[in-house]
Amino acid sequence: MKNITYFFILLFIYSAVEGQNKGTLRGLVTDSTNSEALAYCNVFLKELGIGTATDSRGYFLIPSIPANQNFTLIISYIGYHTKKINIKVLPNKITHYDVQLLPSDIELQAVEKIEKLVEENKTDISIRRILSRELEYLPKGVESDLFRSLKYLSGVQSAGDVSARFYVRGGASNQNLILFDGVTLYNPFHALGLFSVIDPDIINNIEFYKGGFAANYGGRLSSVVDIKTNDGNKNKFGAKASASYLATKLFLEGPLPHGSFYLSGRKSYSTEVLKKFMNNQNIPADFYDFSFKLNYSNQDFIPGSKFIVNGFFSNDKIDNSDPTIEDFSWKNNLFGFRWFFVGDSPLFLEMGLGISNFQGEILPQLSSLNKSSNKINDISMRMDLTYIFDSKDELWVGFHINQINTHLYIENLVDEDTDIKNSGTDISLYTKYKLLRFDNFAIDAGLRFNLASVSQNKEIMFLEPRFNASYTLWNFLTLKSAWGLYQQTLTTVSDEDEIINIFEPWIVIPEYLLPAKAMHAIFGIEVANGNTWKLGVESYYKTVDNLPVLNKDKIYTTDHDFIAGEGESYGLEVNASLNTPVVDFKTSYTNAYAYKVVDGKRYYPRYDTRHSFNIIVDLKLGNNWHSSVTWVYSSGLPFTEILGYYDKLYLDNFFDSWNSRDPRRPYTLIGVQNLGRLPDYHRLDLNISKKFAFSFMNLYLDFNIINLYDRANIFYFKKETGERVNMLPFLPTISVKVEL
């Protein structure tokens, strides 16, 4: 421990000495038409041959630049004209430049040739950065959808194309952390989980970590989806309205004094198309989502500060008009306040307050179901501080405090209540040091300290160490690796055998179980040639201990609802991409294995797919035409085989005598859990879009075909009736968007 302390002190002194007669360049890159931050731009200093990339907020910082000398700064970005500006930095100071890039025509959407590949973030591994426009051009089933788009990525599995629910590297869906502008979103699905609640039009960028995430993220075992929304147009007022078969949307944005705003709303109006998702069953779903964001940045009031207030509200109802069928309702309410500060030192400070509330309810009416409800309130406070040394090394320090209240109320079939209330506070400190001073070697070493936990079980894991490293062997080839421990104190009461699940309540993992913990070990190789082509190979190994699993052997009310299981997954992912001015080509292959061990029995979880293969071809056809074709293949999902049937006695009416009617009905005998495999899955999707530009507005027409060759991919087999239920059939859809 002593040696480590000395090492950091020496690093600090070395950085301070080296920094004399040098200055730091900082900048914010935005779109010139609306002043939206441009995340992940390439920023390159020509004469020095060094560069960096903007972060998810559009900021970049390059330290140790010789002061008082003229340099050429080149900023390039896909879909924008490359900009060259002359810069000069002052000694021992931060010199700030605001850079605005002009969007290029759609057919020229390629990075203009730059002198050197700029690493986005050397130590990042298993991360995919997604921009909102990438979602727009992917084929979509009815609506463009964030979570459905994630399924095109390697290592992301699903239990079928009907649901938007996703599973990352063998982890359960409740192990994915969904952050909406820094605030946790607990139930991010509309309409039985068929769509995500987040409208892609409000998204600026997404950072999707499939594993190996650093110490600044915590609370989940598998993945992080960190969504950053747009700020709203700072230059002029604008409006967008669009309609699909399912919903209508309205988006308003515009400048405010020293800031901007957006308002966005979406409302379902027809459920006809949902029948295609649910075997022609009518789903009386009714939903809306609404979000807003205000930001304020006045240099006369705390210079270098930006204040953001945002909110997100979604509401879903399954409203049957028949009193003999149950109704459902669930809603999310999010509210966030953030203060982002960049001062006169190479320091980024972000403080945030957030409130996330989820409420779900089953209203049984006269059905055989019983009343159930779930509430979760999460009040969070976070501080993230990043200091960048002259050596380019970074020190990150922060804390996250979450006051969490959960309440689950369930009535069982004999009118007994289960009323589980939990209240507690998660307090985590984290620190990490990113050693970025060497051209070919980088380390991100961090620790997450769990000072307090909402878990009632006192044996929480106090330390979560995280370690990422990269080594650039040649200019075009980098080796990467990551290792880390992760902990999760919340879980959902969900039955993994339910492939469509409406009511999925969140609770604190009960006190008789330890919080779930996971270990990730990842190794990868990245080969790239500038921005033209890229090849990445990653292997991963993940174990999960204390995995809370619903106790299927629960008989008595006194039996525990959960038992502890274990999880193990490993696999190999290959990703390749080729970008040309006309065609973008992406392909990926995954060979994955996932297991769960419950009660001594080892089995494949429902979403375990051995082989997955995706191809996405994105064509810029000119004259505002755009097209994309996607082909997805995955080997068969597991299912439990049928061993036969027997006539089971059903106790429908104790008051009638047996002789009047045989009270038995066929019942299915099943084999070892998930030992069988369904047939392979594959699907071809097509998207063609056209932008019509008028003087006063833009009109976008978007035509999609899901499952072009109408492949009958089996979703599940109804054991009770012998009916085969397939996934999405041939489904052509069209959507229209008007932009003022």
Partner 1 sequence: MKTKFYLLTLILSLLTILSCEETFDPYGKFEEKYVLNCIVRADTNYQVALVSKSYISENLDPYSNTEDKSVQNILVRLWNGNDNVAILKDTIVERSSDDKYNSPYRIYYAENFQPIPGLPLEIEAVLPDGRVLSSATSVPAPINFLDTSSDTLIPPSKGDYIQVVWNSPQTKPVFILRLGIYYFKYEGGSKKRYIYFVPQNYVEHEGKFVPNYPKPITQSRFSFDMKTIDKAMELISAGESDKSKFEILSCIIEVIALDENLSIYYNTTANANNAFSVKLDEKDYSNIKGGYGIFGAYNRNYYVLRFKHDYIRSFGYIPGLTE
- The least CB distance from residue 692 to partner 1, in Å, is 31
Q: Is 40 left (phi over 0), alpha (psi -120 to 50) or beta?
A: left
Q: Which is nearer to partner 1, 490 or 499 (CB)?
A: 499
- The least CB distance from residue 639 to partner 1, in Å, is 7
CB 389 within 8 A of CB 12: yes
Instruction: For the segment 179-238, give every residue that binds partner 1 (CB under 8 A).
Output: 192
C-alpha angle with apex 488: 417 to 554, nearest 5 degrees? 35
Q: Which is nearer to partner 1, 107 or 710 (CB)?
A: 710
Quote the tokens at residue 669. 């005998």
Site string for partner 1, 330-369 (x = CB under 8 A): --------------------------------x--xxxxx
- The least CB distance from residue 657 to partner 1, in Å, is 9
The pairing of beta strand 664-670 with beta strand 642-649: antiparallel
- The least CB distance from residue 711 to partner 1, in Å, is 5
Q: Which is nearer to partner 1, 88 or 677 (CB)?
A: 677
* Total number of residues that touch partner 1 (CB under 8 A): 87
Instruction: For the segment 671-730, give every residue that binds partner 1 (CB under 8 A).
Output: 671, 673, 675-676, 678-680, 682, 684, 708-712, 714, 716-717, 719-724, 726
Q: What is the DSSP letter of 17?
A: H
Among 113, 552, 560, 611, binds partner 1 (CB under 8 A): 552
Separation of CA 244 from chain center: 24
Q: Which is nearer to partner 1, 607 or 700 (CB)?
A: 607
Q: Closest Cα partner for 510 from 568, 596, 424? A: 424
Among 105, 344, 647, 656, binds partner 1 (CB under 8 A): 647
Which residues, in sequence order, are bridge partners of residue 731? 706
- The least CB distance from residue 441 to partner 1, in Å, is 48
Could you say whether residue 70 binds partner 1 (CB under 8 A)?
no
Rounded to whole angstroms, how far apart are CA atoms 157 and 608?
A: 7
Instruction: For the segment 407-426, give every residue that binds partner 1 (CB under 8 A).
Output: 412-416
Could you say whether residue 627 binds partner 1 (CB under 8 A)?
no
The pairing of beta strand 94-101 with beta strand 22-31: parallel
Quote the tokens at residue 403. 């006051």
- The least CB distance from residue 282 to partner 1, in Å, is 10
Q: How many CB atoms lie within 10 A of CB 124?
A: 21
Instruction: For the segment 506-545, give every residue that binds partner 1 (CB under 8 A).
Output: none
* DSSP calls for 158-222: -S-SS----EETT--GGGEEEEETTEE-S--EEGGGTEESS-GGGEEEEEEE-S---TT--S-SS
Q: Which is nearer to partner 1, 47 or 723 (CB)?
A: 723
Instruction: For the segment 247-286, give every residue that binds partner 1 (CB under 8 A).
Output: 278, 281, 283
Could you say whether residue 553 binds partner 1 (CB under 8 A)?
yes
Instruction: For the segment 297-336, give every residue that binds partner 1 (CB under 8 A).
Output: 318, 320, 322-326, 328
Q: Closest Cα partner for 56 from 173, 200, 231, 291? A: 231
Rounded to whole angstroms, how far apart are CA atoms 137 and 205?
A: 15
CB 177 within 8 A of CB 219: yes
Site string for partner 1, 482-511 (x = CB under 8 A): -------------x-xxxxxxx--------
- The least CB distance from residue 455 to partner 1, in Å, is 28
- Residue 655 burial by CB count (10 A; 0-12/13-18/19+): exposed, middle or buried? exposed
Give the largest Cα separation in the chain, rounded.
101
Q: Which is nearer to partner 1, 511 or 723 (CB)?
A: 723
Q: Closest Cα partner for 616 from 581, 576, 582? A: 576
